[in-house]
Amino acid sequence: MHPKWLRNSTKTLVHINAWAIHRDPKVWKDADEFVPERFLDSEIDVKGHDPELIPFGIGRRGCPGMMMAMAMVELVLANLLYAFDWELPPGMKDGDLDFDVEPGLTMPKKNALCLVAKPMQF
Binding residue numbers for heme: 63
Distance CA 101, CA 95 (A): 16
**3 state SS of 19:** helix
Beta partners for residue 84, in sequence order? 119
Binding site membership: which residues?
A: 63
CB 117 within 8 A of CB 84: yes
CB 88 within 8 A of CB 94: yes
Distance CA 66, CA 91 (A): 40
